[in-house]
Amino acid sequence: MKYFLPHLVRCAAYLLFLCFSTPLSAQETIVTYIKKNGGNTPHKDSAAYTSILRLLPNESGLYELNDYYATGDLKRHGWVKTIDPRRLRFEGLVETYYDNGILEATVYYADDKLIDTAKRYYRNGVLRESRVYLASMETPNEFLFTEMNSRLVYYADSMGNVQVRDGNGEIEIATNNTDIERGNYTAGRREGRWEGTFQKAKYRFEEWYENGILTKGMTTDSLGNQHTYQERDIQPEYPGGIQKLRTFIAQNYRYPPRAIQAKVVGQVVISFVVDKTGSVTDFEIVDDLGYGTGAVGIDVIKKAQDWIPGNQRGIPVRVKYSLPIRLNLASPSLPPTRKSSSP
């Protein structure tokens, strides 16, 4: 375990002669420029941050990863199992930093799954929470409620006032500038009645937990209508499952003639929003192979069926997806959708 030194600022000098996803002449690193939406760009000036992956593994066979803000300050440091910057698989300790240089979080991975104790800090360096992840915890999905497979050990506000210690205590969590959740933790799990607001105080909720498991919940909207639920967060689902969507993409994607002539292969990534009715909208090409491949990806997704919408506390919500489509001139293939979150 590593311990955080309050107000320790970690900075890095500006990096020279960076190349987009191309090994340097010494064949020691791969440098990638990352856009705000997570896609790659060949231009440093349009990048939100720079990712540098060392090609020389350590004694454990892991590759060092360092991400830097546009200012040159360290954003993230960790270790991965592969040298593919598009498919990072984390292993061991990963540290992230705010843009002011203050440590944001320390987490541990085993085969790209969260394990052990994660610590998260406020921008002023005060420890916010300490949480233990169980061995069964998959790589966290930003949309899903992750407390089912973890235990909260410690929680404090930004002034250092402790609300949960040794897994026990009454807590009030600010989820954004307007919303809160309040209730009790017992042995690291939610227990008893919880209440609060969400979606910028548009909705009020009450929930009841036993040993960290939600037994029932009720949301009241601005008109006083009540919506009951037994699952806090539900992802959108494509009718028939993701395999059916893979098959649809494979059968309906048509290579642009220019892409065929250029013998383009690789991966296109399209992001879109599944809205409250299940319709797909707000398309964006995150990663493009050029020659119209990204535009065709959008067109084929538009032709697919509407989705079953996602729900948050019994209320339909908009959810953003990123969808990779692999192209190989024979037939495109679609891996599982990655990262979904409420936009």
Instruction: Read off the CATH number of the domain in which 316 is found.
Output: 3.30.2420
d(CA 33, CA 80): 18
Q: Domain count for the chain, please give it.
A: 3
> Is 206 part of a structural domain of the chain?
yes
Contact 313, 219 (CB under 8 A): yes
Cα distance from N-terminal residue to C-terminal residue, the chain: 34
Residues 17 and 128 in one domain: yes
Among the candidates 234, 256, 284, a domain finishes at 234
Residues 80 and 64 in one domain: yes
Residues 4 and 132 in one domain: yes
Query: Residue 219 pairs with which residues in a beta bridge?
Result: 205, 227
Residues near 247 by beta carbon (within 8 Å), at least 6 away in sequence:
none
d(CA 200, CA 77): 33
> What phi and psi, each to the nearest 5 degrees, are found at residue 289?
-100, 0
> Is 41 part of a structural domain of the chain?
yes
pLDDT for 27 equals 54
DSSP annotation of 11 reads: -
d(CA 55, CA 75): 20
pLDDT for 17 equals 31
> What phi and psi, each to the nearest 5 degrees, are found at residue 226?
-110, 140
Residues 48 and 21 in one domain: yes
Band the pLDDT of 136: cuts 50, 70, 90. low
Give the 3-state secondary structure of residue 149: helix
Contact 117, 137 (CB under 8 A): no
Is residue 91 over pLDDT 80?
Answer: yes
Interval 195-232: pLDDT, tens: 999 999 999 999 999 999 999 999 999 999 999 999 99
Interval 39-84: pLDDT, tens: 888 889 889 999 999 999 999 999 999 999 999 999 999 999 999 8
DSSP annotation of 90 reads: B
Instruction: Read off the CATH number of the domain in which 41 is found.
Output: 3.90.930
Contact 298, 270 (CB under 8 A): yes
Residues 199 and 300 in one domain: no
Among the candidates 93, 124, 140, a domain finishes at 140
Contact 103, 120 (CB under 8 A): no
What DSSP element (H or E) covers 268? strand 266-274
Mean predicted confidence (pLDDT) in 33-42: 88
Instruction: Read off the CATH number of the domain in which 198 is found.
Output: 2.20.110
Among the candidates 179, 200, 234, a domain finishes at 234
- The range of the structural domain enclosing residue 226 comes to 168-234
Residues 100 and 193 in one domain: no
> Is 160 part of a structural domain of the chain?
no
Interval 258-301: pLDDT, tens: 999 999 999 999 999 999 999 999 999 999 999 999 999 999 99
DSSP annotation of 102 reads: -
Residues 208 and 250 in one domain: no
